[in-house]
Amino acid sequence: MLTSPECYEHLGTKAQMNPPLRSKRHTVALWQALKDGIIDCIATDHAPHTLAEKNQPYGRSPSGMPGVETSLALMLDRVNRDLCTLPGKWFTGCQNLLQTLQDAWKRKN
């Protein structure tokens, strides 16, 4: 939600992650869905790897990147830009995530 595929040009496999980076059209739609209350929670896939691992060619380089340490600052910046609000989603984010996981667990078992 915070980057775009153009990052691949200068970051190469360092920008390789799952799900992959999406176009501006997709990120605008995601921010609008968050603002409209359609998205229940926000999470990061904190998956740091060494530079040696990330410098491998595509297909051999692992997906993922660090991000948990910057996620709060980046999201607060988005609040400041009026792309989302603070109280509604943020203070219930953990609760929403836990409820989503609990519901999924119940469906599986």
Catalytic residues: 45
Alpha-carbon dihedral of residues 63, 67, 68, 74, nearest 10 degrees? -140
Asked whether the bond before 19 is cis by omega within 30 degrees of 0, the reply is yes
CB 61 within 8 A of CB 55: yes
Q: What are phi and psi of 71, to 5 degrees?
A: -60, -40
Q: How far, in Å, CA of 47 to CA of 30, rounded?
A: 22
